[in-house]
Amino acid sequence: MFTQEELIEANTGEDIPSILKVKDLCVDFFLPGGVLRAVNHLDFNLPAKRITGLVGESGSGKTTLTSAILRTVSNPGKITQGSILFEDKDILKLTDKELREFRWRDTAMVFQAAQNCLNPSMTIKEQFIETYLAHKKDLRVDEIAALSSKLLKEVRLEPERVLKSFPHEMSGGMKQRVMIAFARILNPSILLLDEPTTALDVITQDYIFNILLGIHESTKMTMLLSTHDIAVVAKTCDYMAVMYGGTIVEMGDIYEMFEFPEHPYTKLLIQAAPSLTGDLKARTAIPGNPPNLMEARKGCIFANRCPYCEEKCRQIEPEAVTVSQGHTVSCHRVKKVE
């Protein structure tokens, strides 16, 4: 899929620092029928100034992980264990005031139905100004309007028209682009994008990913893009983390992940995406069902669907091993490179 030059270029061994370090994170939903563990002892480092794709099927825990980073896990969910370090500060220990500052100023989020968050009774300009002033008071209203215009241009919207519009006067794709501009208003260093285009048509999706790539190119903002569509990750991201049953089973740079996937689930995900392999006949659904997250865990979370499952896999949970720089995988079949 990649040329030799591209592979060499990708593997020059540059050590990318992480901007966010998630350690041993557990998130539980306390339901009437029992406790559902949506995120299970998850470790994850988010590479700074890069776009990382978080890929996994529906229910694998992408939204829960993304919301945990902003401490917005919805009821009856609770973060029950772990730490999330940002600039050596644990987000899970921030005071309410510090948390308000962290949200929007350091990290902003755009999610699937984000456009529904726009206030129907205010113009876009009023909403930009209100959002800015809720966090910072250093700009005058006309300066905030000028900043808003710049950000709207970045998402290829006409500021003159859009700023005076009400949300109902815009299409879904336009509103989602407004939300991306909104997320940038306090110039955060991290942008979390949770299935930002899933509700939109394919053409609009592509258009929005191009816009995001343009923003990344000019700002080098760190992005975490969660999606169930591995083809989106292949087109857009520098790194890929594969999530399954509440943990990250494999992570690495995009070239490694697509050229040398190690985890059986990653391999199956790649095979199941015909637009990636170019072989439409080869499309294979991954057999079996996702794990029941309310049951006690034993062994590898993927064991019951894994074509290579052995007795050990049913009994012992595999630890993450590093197979090459920045490439980690949790599978008993994979041996550590000394």
**Chain residues that interact with ligand ADP, rule: CB under 6 A:** 29, 31, 36, 38, 56, 58-64, 74, 77, 293
User: CA angle, corner 262, sides to 256 and 263, nearest 5?
Assistant: 125
Query: Toward Mg ion, which CB reaches closer, 99 or 199?
Result: 199
**How many Å is the maximal CA-CA distance in the chain?**
67
> Checking DSSP bridges between strand 239-244 and strand 51-55, what pairing results, if any?
parallel
Residue 128: what residue type? F
141-154 helix and 124-135 helix, angle to the nearest 10 degrees: 110
- 227's contact among ligand ADP, Mg ion, none, with CB below 5 to 8 A by partner kind, is none
- 77's contact among ligand ADP, Mg ion, none, with CB below 5 to 8 A by partner kind, is ligand ADP
77 with 36: CB under 8 angstroms?
no
- 56's contact among ligand ADP, Mg ion, none, with CB below 5 to 8 A by partner kind, is ligand ADP
Query: Toward Mg ion, which CB reaches closer, 62 or 125?
Result: 62
Q: How far is the CB of 80 from ligand ADP (least distance, A)?
A: 13
- 60's contact among ligand ADP, Mg ion, none, with CB below 5 to 8 A by partner kind, is ligand ADP
Q: How many residues comprise the chain? A: 338
Query: Toward ligand ADP, which CB reaches closer, 127 or 227?
Result: 227
- 38's contact among Mg ion, ligand ADP, none, with CB below 5 to 8 A by partner kind, is ligand ADP
User: CA angle, corner 68, sides to 67 and 73, nearest 5?
Assistant: 65
Query: Toward ligand ADP, which CB reaches closer, 50 or 62?
Result: 62
Query: Toward ligand ADP, which CB reaches closer, 280 or 296?
Result: 296
Query: Toward Mg ion, which CB reaches closer, 60 or 148?
Result: 60
Residue 279: what residue type? D
Q: Within the chain, where are the H helices?
A: 4-10, 62-69, 96-101, 124-135, 141-154, 159-163, 172-183, 202-219, 230-236, 254-259, 264-271, 274-277, 311-315
Q: How far is the CB of 249 from ligand ADP (least distance, A)?
A: 13
- 59's contact among ligand ADP, Mg ion, none, with CB below 5 to 8 A by partner kind, is ligand ADP
Query: Toward ligand ADP, which CB reaches closer, 8 or 31?
Result: 31
Q: How far is the CB of 30 from ligand ADP (least distance, A)?
A: 9
What's the rounded Cα separation, in Å, for the pair 39 and 56? 13
Q: How far is the CB of 294 from ligand ADP (least distance, A)?
A: 8
Q: Which residues pair with 143 in a beta bridge?
A: none
Size of the site for Mg ion (CB under 5 A): 2
Q: How far is the CB of 179 from Mg ion (least distance, A)?
A: 16
230 with 60: CB under 8 angstroms?
no
162 with 174: CB under 8 angstroms?
yes
Q: How far is the CB of 31 from ligand ADP (least distance, A)?
A: 6
**Which residue is it, tokens 């343009």?**
214
Q: By Cβ distance, which residue is nearest to Mg ion?
A: 63
- 178's contact among Mg ion, ligand ADP, none, with CB below 5 to 8 A by partner kind, is none
* Stretch 60-79 residues interacting with Mg ion (CB under 5 A): 62-63
Q: Which residues pair with 182 in a beta bridge?
A: none
Encoded tokens for 14:
């540059």
Window of 21-29, 57-65, 115-123, 231-239 that interacts with Mg ion by CB under 5 A: 57-65
What's the rounded Cα separation, in Å, for the pair 228 and 181? 24
Q: How far is the CB of 75 from ligand ADP (least distance, A)?
A: 7
Neighbours of 314 (CB within 10 A): 13
Window of 58-66, 142-150, 264-272, 310-318 that interacts with Mg ion by CB under 5 A: 58-66
Q: Which residues pair with 248 in a beta bridge?
A: 243
List residues near Mg ion by CB under 5 A.
62-63
